[in-house]
Amino acid sequence: MKPRIKGKFTFQSAGVLFVLSALFELFSINSQVPLFGNIRGGIIAATYHIVYVVLFFALGFGLFKARPWGYRLVFAATGLYTLDRLVYVLDRKALEAYLAAVLAKYGLTVGVSETGFVLKAVTLAMVLSVAGWWAFAGYAYLRRQYFQQTDNKPVKGK
């Protein structure tokens, strides 16, 4: 019987989901993003989306194939995502403009009191999202031996 590799199913599943995330991000390449106090489109938004497409594809491959660089990329991506979400939440002017544009697209107009509630909900969602990334990074740290394998065989003596 083959020795069971701890974390294999989790990391391979995450790898597949990261590749799917990259594809979804690719479909939204023309979508505007809130950055630096305003809603940005065009080349700035496309570059933003392409960075995430490349990051998610690389993470997906690195996790699925148990590459040592995939392990390091989990932490780099977690740091980048945390900074990105921090800028997103702290840039209230851009966030308010973005939410107003998104809600207006669906025919909704909101007043000041409703905007405050929506901003709190978005902030909570971002905090939970970042917490999920850090939890995954913690899991990767605990299962780091998965990334020290060659041809999906455990390293001897470990």
> What element of type H or E holds 39?
strand 38-40
pLDDT band at 150; cut points 50, 70, 90: low
Chain segment 15-27, per-residue pLDDT in tens: 999 999 999 999 9
pTM score, whole prediction: 0.81
Contact residues for 60 (Cβ-Cβ < 8 A; gap 6+) = 14, 15, 16, 17, 18, 19, 21, 22
**Whether the Cβ atoms of residue 6 and residue 144 lie closer than 8 Å to each other:** no
How far does Cα 87 stand from its chain's mean position? 14
pLDDT surpassing 80 at residue 95: no
Q: Which two tokens stand for residue 39?
A: 């809603």
More confident call, 136 vs 92? 136
Query: CA-to-CA distance for 95 and 89, rounded, in angstroms?
Result: 7
Average of per-residue pLDDT values in the chain: 85
Mean pLDDT on 70-87: 94
Per 3-state DSSP, what percentage of the chain is helix, strand, and coil (rounded to 5)?
75, 5, 20
pLDDT surpassing 80 at residue 132: yes
User: According to the model, what pLDDT value does residue 111 have?
Assistant: 57
Q: What is the DSSP letter of 2?
A: P
